[in-house]
Amino acid sequence: MSYPPTSDQRDEYEVNGLMSAENGHGDGGETEADRQADEAEKADLMRRYEDFSTVDWIQDSLLERTNQSKPATHPLIVRLDQTEGIFGYIWRLLRRALEEGESWVVISLVGVVIGVSAALISVITTWLSDIKMGYCTTGWWLTQKYCCLEISPEGEGCTEWRNWGEFWPLQWLAFVAWAAIFSFSAAFIVKNFAPYAAGSGISEIKCILGGFIIKGFLSVETFFIKGLTLPLAIASGLAIGKEGPSVHVACSIGNSVARMFSRYDRSHLKMREIVTASSAAGVAVAFGSPIGGVLFSIEEMNQTFSNRTMWRSFVCALVATFTLASMDPFRTGKLVLFQVSYDRDWHFFEIPFYILIGVFGGLYGAFVIKFNLQVAAFRRKHLASHGISEAVTLAVITAVVSYMNRFLRFDMTEMLALLFRECEGGGDHEGLCQSSAQWRMVNSLLIATVVRIGLVVISYGCKVPCGIFVPSMAIGATFGRMVGILVKALYQANPKSPWFAACAPDAPCITPGTYAFLGAAACLGGITRITVTVVVIMFELTGALTYLLPTMIVALVTKAVSDQFGGGGIADQMIRFNGYPFLEKEDKEDTRDQAFSEPISHVMKRDIIALSASGIPLQQIAEIVQSTTYQGFPVVKSDSDRTIVGFVRKNELRYAVDKARRTRNLSPNAICKFEHTLPAAPLKSDADGYLQRPDIHIPRRQGSINRSPSLGAVGRRESGMEVEEVDLGEYVDETPLTVSPKMPLEIVMQLFRRMGPRVILVSDQGRLVGLVTVKDVLRHEVTEAHKHSRLNSAGNSPITPRTPYPNANINSHNNHSRGSSSSTTDGRGWESWATVVDPDGEGNGLEIALEEGYAWLHVASSRARNVLVQSWRSITGRRGQQQMGRGSAAMEYELNDD
């Protein structure tokens, strides 16, 4: 890989009398300020990626090494670096420690900000949730817990806390009204100020860590707006959680803080470490689980996880959790979110019931993912411009339904804490542990489970900050508690059965709270398809280490059931749904699939634009740069000789062309060549020790002129001669990644994952025959899955087959490294080559039902509007006739007079 000259080399070349591109003098040089501005502009263009494009990790790594190897430019630092003896050794040691310590300072600062923001979000969320039920007369800013803290330790009620109204209908109306106000506020702010703040954000962050550029997604504005609207969305009562959005908020904090340091601002590699560590801290503060956060970042977020990244994630999660614990927003003095004390051990006869809970978790995850994608397809098709109305409608429906059920009315975090408790530890809330009310509780828990599943399916993905972790845990907890009550009832009905021989006769045998705990773990694992992280998070949440083996059994069964449906967790499915260029981990592939063993020649693009190194008009290059959306171009020797010379990126080529066109006396028919490239090491030096500058030959003249490196090998005129040749060879990457056309697709996918190139050239004995990008590989995967589903459908039923995803549309783009301008985009502008459009114009399951319901609602609303309009017209018409009757004589006179 060869790069343009460093700034020091450029300065030395210009000192020797070479001209700059801007001053226009034939024999002068530009000022020092102009040279520095030009160098800063070039550095910015060299590292800049266009929005919705992908990062070339190989180029970024080499550029980072080049920046690190540059010597210091400050005179004092240069003199200190050259100092000999013990003082020089101490200085160099201190400087190395400062450079290495900067990363830990940044990580610690990010952790502190994440901890503070998490504490504020938690306090505001709790206060807003309590406002829906009533207010504190001693201080409107107090939550119900603090308002009644001195009177009732459990916070069950006191005279200082007033509900909205004396009767339940008034309280119900206030509950619904506050839910509508909160949802409207959240959706309105998100839509008008930061559209990227909607949703969970985990899918997009996974793609960003994989190299996908989404400018503004991790900006300061997104952080503030999402941090402001997240409490409103949670307090509105929607069936959503704050843990997923907390990860987005934390990553936005990490990105914003790191941008203040130039060392991180210019490097995507270092920024990826910061964002990965921030994601770990986000999970840590959301669940109070620092180790779980680190494991989440390893298992779910980043595919290229190194030991250095792991240590940074560990420190960031530790600092963030310590900051949150120091602030202690709930004044509990404990780090765990749901403190339980399961002092009774489990029994082997309970394992079948644990397996049942695991099966439910796997089926729940598959069900919610399948139908939520269909709801997302309907939302994108019909509700893209009605985000505020949708959020308010969902909040009102949720409030109306939830108020009728005790397990839906509570905040989900409070409900989880209640269901996890032992009956002997203050968990008998409203008869939850009473045998006389067990069937009533079973009915309430079953209704809460079914209703919340439906609410999660339709609510997750609406245009407010929303997560799915805690709602899934709440669903699992209600189902698990229901199973626990049934098992306890079975034991009480048959205490002498051999099945329960292991139970002590004088002590409680079944603990229903443990079943709620295991159910929460099962549904969390089913929706995310992760195992180890879920187990650790649940232990750090509750401290229930006694149930290590049952939790592992439940997680294993959930994973086994979930894998039967394939496709990965909700984050992976949303990535496919939106068509993001993201390759899954290798362990998620089915290597037995024949599609992975076929040669790359079946996937590569053949119709590509290649630049000839022997010569191409500069005007033509400018037109190619302006009129195409390619992110780079292969360079070959000539039109007849397709031998690969290298690859040039579009940003660098655009910069070089702009500089060349500002050259004085540039010929209108100037020819651009890519023949000269800088050597990796000095091969030949002039008298002053600098590299000899290659000559640029001008046609029809015997002679040569020197080239200015500051112009990217742009030739200069001498004595009135026109510049007719421009050599941009220094911008060519001479070592692009190349593979043979016979290379299996599986190996190429491993190259993309492990090395992270933007494009791989395909060469046959050194000659260019095509190229392949990540999007080509993903498009091929979707196409093969589409063919496979068609074959299965044709073999099983005559029904017209559908794509493997509810709306996958396979487009055939003949572009390489393509931007977003030529692709179908959704409301937020990113490329969606696999975007949801059913090829047959039909839906799937729930999507069909939503389509029919939407059509009926549209017709019914139109009819109702017509009836209202006709009624209003008839009323206003009668009034008009009466007025006309009262003044008929005058009106007749006027008409006759006219």
The three-state DSSP-derived secondary structure of 729-773 is HHHCECCCCEECCCCEHHHHHHHHHHHCCCEEEEEECCEEEEEEE
Hunting for tokens 């399961």 — which residue is that?
Answer: 342
Instruction: Identify the residue with better confidence: 317 or 658.
Output: 317
Distances (CA, A) of 775 to 65, 206, 834, 865: 28, 16, 10, 47
424-443 per-residue burial string, b: 16 or more CB within 10 A, e: under 16: eeebebeebbeeeebeebbe
Quote the CA–CA distance of 303 and 248 in Å, as a whole number. 18
CB 119 within 8 A of CB 332: no
Quote the CA–CA distance of 712 and 704 in Å, as a whole number. 17
Instruction: Identify the residue with better confidence: 406 or 370.
Output: 370
Model pLDDT, residue 654: 85
Residue 891 has pLDDT above 60, yes or no: no
Instruction: Identify the residue with better confidence: 46 or 127.
Output: 127
Model pLDDT, residue 21: 36
Instruction: Identify the residue with better confidence: 480 or 693.
Output: 480
Select, from the ranges 184-198, 493-507, 823-837, the one with the highest average predicted confidence (pLDDT).
Answer: 184-198
Model pLDDT, residue 319: 94
Minimal CA–CA distance to 200: which of 470, 455, 464? 464
For residue range 591-647, list pLDDT tens digits in order: 556 666 788 888 888 888 889 888 888 888 888 888 888 888 999 998 888 899 999
Q: Kindly state the average pLDDT of the residues 833-844.
A: 42
Distances (CA, A) of 594 to 329, 753, 785: 55, 20, 11
Model pLDDT, residue 818: 40
Model pLDDT, residue 332: 66
Residue 29 has pLDDT above 60, yes or no: no
Residue 542 has pLDDT above 90, yes or no: no
Residue 247 has pLDDT above 60, yes or no: yes
CATH of 600-676+723-787, one of 3.40.109.10, 1.40.20.10, 3.40.228.10, 3.10.580.10: 3.10.580.10
For residue range 113-157, list pLDDT tens digits in order: 999 999 999 889 888 888 888 888 887 778 777 777 654 444 455
Q: Kindly state the average pLDDT of the residues 781-800.
A: 60
Model pLDDT, residue 385: 87
**How many C-beta neighbours within 10 Å does residue 413 have?**
20
Residue 742 has pLDDT above 60, yes or no: yes
High-pLDDT (> 90) share of the chain, %: 26
For residue range 670-681, list pLDDT tens digits in order: 888 887 655 544
Select, from the ranges 100-104, 557-561, 618-622, 625-629, the one with the highest average predicted confidence (pLDDT).
Answer: 557-561
Residue 752 has pLDDT above 80, yes or no: yes
Total-model pTM: 0.79
Residue 235 has pLDDT above 50, yes or no: yes
Q: Kindly state the average pLDDT of the residues 871-883.
A: 64
Residue 708 has pLDDT above 50, yes or no: no
Q: How confident is the model at residue 283 (pLDDT cuts 50, 70, 90)?
A: very high
Q: Kindly state the average pLDDT of the residues 451-457.
A: 94
Residue 453 has pLDDT above 80, yes or no: yes
Residue 471 has pLDDT above 90, yes or no: yes
Model pLDDT, residue 480: 94
Q: How confident is the model at residue 520 (pLDDT cuts 50, 70, 90)?
A: very high
Q: What is the mean pLDDT of the chain?
A: 76
DSSP state of 419: H
Residue 280 has pLDDT above 90, yes or no: yes
Residue 661 has pLDDT above 50, yes or no: yes
Minimal CA–CA distance to 318: which of 288, 339, 338, 296? 288
Model pLDDT, residue 230: 93
Model pLDDT, residue 882: 53
Q: Kindly state the average pLDDT of the residues 266-290.
A: 89
Quote the CA–CA distance of 633 and 295 in Å, as a whole number. 40
φ, ψ for residue 260, nearest 5 deg: -75, -10
Listed by start position, the domains of the chain span: 105-147+172-330+362-422+440-575, 600-676+723-787
Give the domain 105-147+172-330+362-422+440-575 fold: Clc chloride channel (1.10.3080)
Model pLDDT, residue 653: 86
Q: How confident is the model at residue 872 (pLDDT cuts 50, 70, 90)?
A: confident
Model pLDDT, residue 185: 94
* Least confident among 16-30, 444-458, 506-520, 564-578: 16-30
Model pLDDT, residue 428: 66
* Least confident among 184-188, 401-405, 464-468: 401-405
Q: Kindly state the average pLDDT of the residues 441-466.
A: 92
Residue 167 has pLDDT above 50, yes or no: yes
* Least confident among 231-245, 418-432, 483-497, 558-572: 418-432
Structure tokens belonging to residue 630: 């390619």
